[in-house]
């Protein structure tokens, strides 16, 4: 304890001065003793010092304790409000994320349904185009076969015309009994008559050949007519099926019979585009509104928290500044008071010393009694000093408590700074989430643009399909006209075949008559030859 140690030192110094007062240092010792006693009295037993200590203690209690309680209450209330606000913002963010997920799922479902409808329409279109291609192939085959039969009948007519223009009257050759060679008898004509056909026989042979050809042509014509009938029947069936499918498609596509297919498609496209644009606009407005509300709330909460923190820090700094100023004022006041007291005491001491220099000799005898009294007073003063030491210990404990409270305030300030940092991190995470939401919105906008492009391509494909359907309908009409022409040509061919069959029957009758005449001629020749042989014998 510094007060007791200094007091003991001063007491020893006074004792030494009293002991050595008879020596040369008597004057110095007396001066030192008076000075030390006066200083000790002014430092340890004066009233202003206790009043100043009590004033400092009351000011410290008034400055520190109430502001700390209010600061704790304000910080806890602000922290609770911020936590509640952060919870509300997290709930709203989860709600927006759920809405975004639902909208994405609905968009994916709509996209899949649209793709399914497009695939179904593509399959229907491929089936119709396949049927039309098959009908066109059958048409080409019928046209080729008609051309082949036309060419065959033209060749047949040409051959018949040539046969009518150039009939066979006879065959010119060597004589019946002449040798085959000039230098001898040929092997083929040795004792054998040469074959010689008459005009009737030659005509019969030609007619037989033509009859066989006509039979072959007739069978081919009948087979062709049967095949063409089957093909025409299948084409009619395919045409009816195509007409039924076209009717079904038109009934499915057309909303009312007064609206055309292109107008319905345009209306459907306009409705789809308008609904998509309205949905995207509503979604964008909702997201922007939520973003603005969240940003405004976050900024307001952040500004409020910063304002409160700044106010609290300013209040804390003002309290510390005020406390420091009060302490400085108290210290300066105590220093000034102590200096004034010391100066006054020194002046009085100097006056007393100047006055008592003449009375030193007379006072030395009195000093012994005074020293005894001083010893008694020193005992009392020691008790007072012990009591003051205890009070000083109490003051030290209060100072220690104040230092502990200051450390607690510093730790609480540090925790508040950490909480502020965590809140800043949460704000940063919220900003990142908002940025991710903005990126998702951008991706959704890109998906909407791709869907719009796909819808535009689908509209172009539907337009191309409508054009193809129109061309296919025109081709189908041309095909029906060609089929009708082919039917008429087949009927003409059937009539020509019937006429040729009648002609062939006439030719058959003629060939039978010619055969009968040939047989009669052969019998006449044989009889004539037999008669000639008998006459020669």
Q: Which pLDDT tens digit goes with each residue over 308-327? A: 767 777 777 777 777 777 77
Q: Looking at residue 165, what is its pLDDT?
A: 75
Mean of all residue pLDDT scores within the chain:
69
Cα–Cα distance measured from residue 476 to residue 136, given in angstroms and rounded to the nearest whole number? 9
Could you tell me which residue, 442 or 48, shows the higher pLDDT? Answer: 442
Strand partners for 184: 181
Percent of the chain with pLDDT over 70: 50
Tokens standing for residue 89: 């913002």
pLDDT at 172 over 50: no
Classify burial at 149, counting beta carbons within 10 Å of its beta carbon; exposed 0-12, middle 13-18, buried 19 or more.
buried
Structural domain includes residue 289:
yes
Mean pLDDT calculated for residue range 92-113: 83
Percent of the chain with pLDDT over 90: 0
- Which DSSP string do the residues of 42-88 spell out, in sequence order? HHHS-HHHHHHHHHHHHHHHHHHHHHHHHHHHHHHHHHHHHHHHHHH
Structural domain includes residue 417:
no
Cα–Cα distance measured from residue 177 to residue 174, given in angstroms and rounded to the nearest whole number? 9
Side-chain-facing half-sphere of 158: CA atoms under 13 Å: 6
Q: Looking at residue 522, what is its pLDDT?
A: 67
pLDDT at 186 over 70: no
Beta strands in 126-257 (DSSP E): none
Q: How confident is the model at residue 174 (pLDDT cuts 50, 70, 90)?
A: very low
pLDDT at 116 over 80: yes
Structural domain includes residue 207:
yes
Mean pLDDT calculated for residue range 101-108: 85
Please give the helix or strand (H or E) that residue 133 lies within, else none.
helix 47-165
3-state secondary structure of 181: strand
Given a contact cutoff of 8 angstroms between Cβ atoms, the answer to whether 269 and 454 are in contact is no
Given a contact cutoff of 8 angstroms between Cβ atoms, the answer to whether 530 and 187 are in contact is no
Q: Looking at residue 173, what is its pLDDT?
A: 46
Q: Looking at residue 537, what is its pLDDT?
A: 37
Which of 497, 479, 474, 473 lies closest to 232, judged by CA? 479
Structural domain includes residue 387:
no
Q: Looking at residue 136, what is its pLDDT?
A: 72
Mean pLDDT calculated for residue range 220-245: 69
Q: Which domain, by its residues, includes 221?
A: 66-167+202-341+429-526
Q: Looking at residue 451, what is its pLDDT?
A: 76
Q: Which residues contact 267 (CB under 8 A, 6 or more apart)?
A: 255, 259
Q: Looking at residue 166, what is its pLDDT?
A: 72
Structural domain includes residue 113:
yes
Most confidently modeled of 49-53, 56-60, 298-302, 432-436? 432-436
Mean pLDDT calculated for residue range 148-176: 66
pLDDT at 208 over 80: no
Most confidently modeled of 91-100, 319-328, 373-382, 498-507? 91-100
Structural domain includes residue 18:
no
Long-range contacts of 234-237 (CB under 8 A, 24+ apart): 234/138, 235/135, 235/138, 235/139, 235/479, 235/483, 236/483
| Per-residue pLDDT reduced to its tens digit, 396-423 | 677 777 777 777 777 777 777 787 787 7
Pick from 92-96, 174-178, 271-275: least confident:
174-178
pLDDT at 431 over 70: yes
What is the domain count for the chain? 1
| Per-residue pLDDT reduced to its tens digit, 491-523 | 776 677 677 767 767 777 777 777 777 777 767
Which of 504, 447, 532, 19 lies closest to 221, judged by CA? 504
Q: Looking at residue 257, what is its pLDDT?
A: 45
Structural domain includes residue 321:
yes
Structural domain includes residue 469:
yes
Q: Looking at residue 421, what is its pLDDT?
A: 80
């Amino acid at each position: 304890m510094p007060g007791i140690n200094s007091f003991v030192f001063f007491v020893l110094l006074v004792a030494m001065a009293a002991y050595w007062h008879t020596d040369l240092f008597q004057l110095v010792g007396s001066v030192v003793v008076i000075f030390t006693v006066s200083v000790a009295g002014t430092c340890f037993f004066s009233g202003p010092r206790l009043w100043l200590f009590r004033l400092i203690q009351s000011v410290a209690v008034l400055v520190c304790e109430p502001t700390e309680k209010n600061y704790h209450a304000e910080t806890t209330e602000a922290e609770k409000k911020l936590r509640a606000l952060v919870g509300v913002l997290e709930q709203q963010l989860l709600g927006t994320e759920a809405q975004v997920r639902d909208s994405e799922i609905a968009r994916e479902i709509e996209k899949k349904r649209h793709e399914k409808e497009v695939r179904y329409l593509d399959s229907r279109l491929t089936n119709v185009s396949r049927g039309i291609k098959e009908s066109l192939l059958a048409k080409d085959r019928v046209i080729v076969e008609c051309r082949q039969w036309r060419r065959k009948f033209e060749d047949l007519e040409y051959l018949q015309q040539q046969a009518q223009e150039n009939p066979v009257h006879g065959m010119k050759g060597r004589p019946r009994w002449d040798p085959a060679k000039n230098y001898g008898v040929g092997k083929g004509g040795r004792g054998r008559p040469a074959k010689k056909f008459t005009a009737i026989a030659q005509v019969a042979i030609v007619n037989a050949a033509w009859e066989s050809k006509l039979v072959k042509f007739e069978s081919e014509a009948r087979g062709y007519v049967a095949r063409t009938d089957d093909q025409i029947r299948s084409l009619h069936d395919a045409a009816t099926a195509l007409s039924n499918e076209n009717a079904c498609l038109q009934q499915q596509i057309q909303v009312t019979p007064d609206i055309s297919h292109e107008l319905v498609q345009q209306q459907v496209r306009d409705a789809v585009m308008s609904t998509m644009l309205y949905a995207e606009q509503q979604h964008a407005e909702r997201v922007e509104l939520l973003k603005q509300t969240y940003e405004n709330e976050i900024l307001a909460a952040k500004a409020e928290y910063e304002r409160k923190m700044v106010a609290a820090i300013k209040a804390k700094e003002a309290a510390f500044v005020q406390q420091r100023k009060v302490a400085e004022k108290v210290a300066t006041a105590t220093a000034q008071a102590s200096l004034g007291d010391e100066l006054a005491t020194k002046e009085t001491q100097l006056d007393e010393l100047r006055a008592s220099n003449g009375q030193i000799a007379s006072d030395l005898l009195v000093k012994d009694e005074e020293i005894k009294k001083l010893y008694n007073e020193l005992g009392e003063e020691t008790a007072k000093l012990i009591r003051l030491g205890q009070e000083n210990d109490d003051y030290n404990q209060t100072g220690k408590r104040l230092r502990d409270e200051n450390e607690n305030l510093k730790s609480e300030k540090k925790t508040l700074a950490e909480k502020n940092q965590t809140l800043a991190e949460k704000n940063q995470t919220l900003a990142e989430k908002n940025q991710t939401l903005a990126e998702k919105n951008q991706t959704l906008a890109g998906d909407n643009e791709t869907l719009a492009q796909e819808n535009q391509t689908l509209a172009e494909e539907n337009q191309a399909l409508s054009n193809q359907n129109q061309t296919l309908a025109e081709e189908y009409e041309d095909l029906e006209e060609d089929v009708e022409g082919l039917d008429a040509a087949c009927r003409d061919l059937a009539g020509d075949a019937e006429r040729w069959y009648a002609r062939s029957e006439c030719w058959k009758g003629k060939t039978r008559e010619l055969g009968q005449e040939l047989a009669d001629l052969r019998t006449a020749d044989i009889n004539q030859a037999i008669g000639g042989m008998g006459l020669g014998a």
